[in-house]
Copies of this chain bind each other. A is one copy, B any other.
């Protein structure tokens, strides 16, 4: 309950909280969300007790890390649209700045545990909504520019890149990077306006990614 963002924390408590989130992001990214809580506490330089005072349980921590991360991603997305000359370029830049995204997506979509935690969390949903809204704009703008093919929509782009952003297990760091770059380029090529083959179904809108409608 103390983890409530409303209540402003004392300076040292604040610092602890941040260290924990930073450590958890680091470790979650590297090892997934199943690491012992004690390890996270150690990496953050605090005792487990402190960790649990800040975050009542593992789920709360995952939620906090994801929230923190979505914020970064959102900021990045906004910076991209604000600073790039064309929507297409904004889209590309945004997608290339994947470091932060990666974790979000991991947490949001790979781990079963994490996914269920996040789904029930209002703040997360909000961020998710904000992010999709942002993406909506860019996607439609890129289509208006004639850079992005017309038979797709935001949902397609989101899902396609969600795939791309998974942690790939590769023989080496180099191979991983090269792989990631080329895959992204191939995908972008698939998205580009010079049509290609008709796609099955109908464009996936950002609404299609909503979790709630039924169930």
Contacts and interface: CB of A to CB of B under 8 A. Distances in A.
Interface residue SS majority, chain A: helix
Interface string A194-206: 1111111101111
A165 to B, nearest CB: 9
30 contacts: A109-B168, A125-B211, A132-B209, A133-B206, A135-B206, A136-B206, A151-B203, A152-B203, A153-B203, A154-B205, A155-B179, A155-B207, A155-B209, A156-B204, A158-B206, A159-B209, A163-B163, A163-B168, A166-B166, A171-B209, A171-B211, A171-B212, A172-B214, A175-B204, A175-B208, A178-B200, A178-B208, A182-B200, A189-B197, A192-B197
Interface of A: 31-32, 34, 108-110, 112, 115, 119, 125, 132-133, 135-136, 149, 151-156, 158-160, 162-164, 166-169, 171-172, 175, 178-179, 181-183, 185-192, 194-201, 203-215
Nearest to A131: B206
Nearest to A201: B178
